[in-house]
Each structure stands twice: as structure tokens, then as C-alpha cells.
């Protein structure tokens, strides 16, 4: 039983799954030139900023991303401009 469940958790914890949940990466429709790659780099950068934030906040990565999108104070803290 353990051997059949373990691969499933590997998929759940993979970086792709995390990006899909936080940024709805599978619904991205940018397909011209290098747009998809550029957006992927920016999204990974933002995800790393939230994960390694000096101030830990309650909520998952998706909630923290939405708060950072609306809060100037949190964005300044995340970017280290304080």
C-alpha cells in the first residue's frame, strides 16, 4: 500500500503542482515568442520571494500571493526595500 501511495505524493509536492495551484499555470495562454518562458521566470521569482519571506504570515502560498498583490507594505517587505 505504501509503495502505491508514495508516487502520488511525489506528484502533489512537485514544483509544477505548486506553480499550478498558486498561479493557475496550466491555464496560461501566453504562447507568442518568448512570453511563456518570461512569465514562467517571473512567476518562479515571485514564488521564491514568498517562500523565503523574512516575515512569515498565515495562509498558504496562494493567499500570500494575493495579499502581496494588494498590499504595498508586504510587497516592500518581500522585495527588501525596507
CB 21 within 8 A of CB 45: no
Q: Residue 6: what pLDDT?
A: 63
Q: Residue 2: what pLDDT?
A: 60
Residue 12 CA, chain-centre distance (Å), reads 14
Q: Residue 36: what pLDDT?
A: 83
Domain ranges of the chain: 2-79
pLDDT of the chain, 82 residues: tens digit per residue? 666 656 655 655 567 677 777 777 777 777 788 888 888 888 888 888 888 887 777 888 888 888 888 989 888 888 888 7
Residue 31 CA, chain-centre distance (Å), reads 20
Q: Residue 48: what pLDDT?
A: 86
Amino acid at each position: 500500500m505504501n509503495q502505491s501511495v508514495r508516487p502520488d505524493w511525489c506528484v502533489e509536492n512537485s514544483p509544477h503542482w505548486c506553480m499550478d495551484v498558486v498561479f493557475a499555470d496550466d491555464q496560461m495562454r501566453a504562447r507568442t515568442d518568448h512570453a511563456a518562458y518570461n512569465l514562467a521566470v517571473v512567476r518562479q521569482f515571485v514564488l521564491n520571494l514568498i517562500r523565503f519571506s523574512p516575515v512569515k504570515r498565515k495562509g498558504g502560498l496562494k493567499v500570500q500571493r494575493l495579499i502581496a498583490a494588494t498590499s504595498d507594505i508586504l510587497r516592500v517587505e518581500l522585495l527588501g526595500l525596507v
